[in-house]
Amino acid sequence: MGTYEFFEHTADVGIRAHGATLEALFVCMVQGLIELIAEDSVLKPQQARSLQLSADEAESLLLTWMQEVLFWFSTERFLPVTFELDEVTQTSLRGTVRGDIFDPARHVQGREVKAITRHLLQVRQERDGWHGQVIVDI
Amino acid sequence: MKERAWTGPLEKIDDYRWRIPQSYDRGMRVPGLVFADEQLLADIKADQSLQQVANMAYLPGIVKASMAMPDIHWGYGAPIGGVAAIDAQEGVISPGAIGFDINCGVRLMTTNLTAEEVQPKLRTLIAALFSDIPCGVGMSGAIRLSRKDAPRAMTQGSRWVIGQGHGVTADLEHTESQGCLEGADPAAVSERALERGHDQLGTLGSGNHFVEVQAVDQVFDEDGAEVLGVQAGQVTVMIHSGSRGFGYQVCDDYLDVAERAMAKYGITVPDRQLACAPIDSEEGRGYLGAMRCAANYAWANRQCLMHLARLTFERVFEKSWETLGMRLVYDVAHNIAKFERHRIPATEHGGSASGGNGEERMMCVHRKGATRSFPPGHPEVPADYQSIGQPVIIPGDMGRNSYVLVGTAKAMEESFGSCCHGAGRVMSRTESVRRAAGRSIEHELEQQGIIVMGRGRKGIAEEQPSAYKDVNDVVRVVHNAGLAKRVVRMRPLGVIKG
């Protein structure tokens, strides 16, 4: 398990997360992203999406993972709720997520996240687990 | 993060110009040049924006200075309010120094209504705009771009949507670049960008995007105002939006391309978000082809939004939009790269690689949160504005003012024909929400006679007037520095936000 918090940025919003494992960090980061988009909307794990991603290193993998979630939302209004990640390494991620279709009439409209930026993007391992931060463009 | 305030050097040149010396960082190819006064500098120094000015000075081919307008604030990669003029032959193009929202911009439309005439119907009007114009998170537009039409929208911009009935050809004359950049290459656009853009034409978005009904409250230049067709008391409509998911995806795609290109061409920059590729490279040409598609998409989008607003006014006032005098004053882009010829002045370094000897050179001017400010007589200024210069449209926050200025010859000398783009944020979004706790910003604005409607729960709190610098201060600096000349000021009557 892990935690996430938002940090201050003049124009945009930063998400900082911590997880005991890399998988927990990645899940927390996406949970932070979803809170920005849909606040505390009640979302149910009604549909599944499978994915397999790879990147050169952990920071780029985090970026790719969050971009994928944002792409689902932008094109299908799909937001993941539960995560069954079979494999998360620093260079690859494979698994299934289950989530809901966001309905502006029924759910809480938060912010439109335009993109996940590379500015101050960070993933690092410390004694207590994995830490990461990202700034999203609002 | 805010605590990382600027501690580096900042040398005063005069009351409105400040220099970050090139010696601050060995990687800087030119100095930084900040247009601001003492008062605005206090806020500017509080975040990381000046570091971003220094970072932008790393871009290969940058000429004269890495510039910042007085509305500068901390962005990603380049600061918001940043201008980088890069030699078109030897330099690079940087998607992050243009921004995700390619050709985010503003347009202003007149009406022949007065504030007194609109007042009795103001609430009805704002509610109708709020219901007619898709805005907020997860909203689709009425126009679906088919596979057949998408390349037309991407290559023709405003002209294509006007052909579909969303406006008239006269609108093109008053749009920067006539609402279309040549050289758009649909083949350079990814499938993902098309997927994100196919249902977002004619949608406002969220964040700081808005449609605002305003009244002209001060005229600074009677002759200029007459040429623009605006006068005191007149109601105007301002629209702020960009290229929506289509443009965001184009930027994302080419940041990946640029990061790979940097390794290939041996370029280093201090922030991944500033990744760049030589203009004259396969990667650079790919981005330019796709960026122009996104710029054209944005002009098509603002054209659709303007036409939706016209139709709403028709319904509310029961007159045709032509009878209501709903004429486009001008549309400016403020997140874009443009190829422009500029005279490169000899610098204090005596015409080094970063300066020039007074010759004219083709530059790729990156403006991120900055608008053009072209002078009277410039060939890219519309025929009927030739005597006054290009209108520079500066929105402020939703509680104070907005401005129309006109471009100047001085801006061509000083800032590659660039000016500020807005008020500029001064408070973070999280801080804004905290400060709005237990308050109703809508109610507070209503007490001032301004009706605000927004979709997001926190959107209006994040966009509250105190989250921004006072646009009057910002405009005073650009006017006094000679980057543009004040013509009229507006005050808000009602606003819709995403």
Helix H segments across B105-204?
Answer: 115-118, 122-132, 150-156, 158-163, 170-173, 191-197
Q: Is B443 a catalytic residue?
A: no
CA–CA gap between residue B26 and residue A120 (Å, rounded):
21
Whole-number pLDDT of residue B154: 98
Kindly state whether A35 is in contact with chain B, defined as any CB-CB distance less than 8 angstroms: no
Alpha-carbon torsion A17, A23, A28, A29, what sign? positive
Q: Is the pLDDT of residue A9 over 60?
A: yes
B328 min Cα distance to partner chain A (Å)? 28
Interface test with B, best of A10, A66, A118 (most B CBs within 10 A): A10
Query: Average model confidence (pLDDT) for chain B?
Result: 95
Residue with tokens 């009677």: B222
- Biggest CA–CA distance in chain B, Å, is 64
Both tokens of B191, joined, read: 């499938």
Among B205, B273, B456, beta carbon nearest to A119 = B273
Quick one: how far is CA B357 from the chain centroid?
A: 31
Residue with tokens 């098509």: B300
Q: Among B46-60, B246-260, B336-350, which stretch is predicted with the lowest mean pLDDT?
A: B336-350
Q: What is the mean pLDDT of residues B391-403?
A: 97
Q: Is B439 helix (H, G, I), strand (E, B) or coil?
A: coil
CA–CA gap between residue B418 and residue B81 (Å, rounded):
10
Task: Please write the tens of the pLDDT for every residue from B328-354.
Answer: 999 999 999 999 999 997 764 444 455
Length of chain B: 498
Interface test with A, best of B76, B209, B210 (most A CBs within 10 A): B76
Catalytic residue among B198, B307, B421, B479: B421
Does A118 sit within 8 Å of B96, measured CB to CB? yes
Whole-number pLDDT of residue B349: 42
Q: What is the ipTM of this complex?
A: 0.95
| Percentage with pLDDT > 90 across chain B | 92
Phi first, then psi: give them for residue B247, nearest 5 degrees: -70, -35
Kindly state whether B101 is in contact with chain A, defined as any CB-CB distance less than 8 angstroms: yes
Q: DSSP character for A135? A: E
Both tokens of B331, joined, read: 């549309």
Task: Please write the tens of the pLDDT for every residue from B92-129.
Answer: 999 999 999 999 999 999 999 999 999 999 999 999 99
Q: Is the pLDDT of residue B140 over 90?
A: no
Whole-number pLDDT of residue B142: 84
Both tokens of A129, joined, read: 């687990």
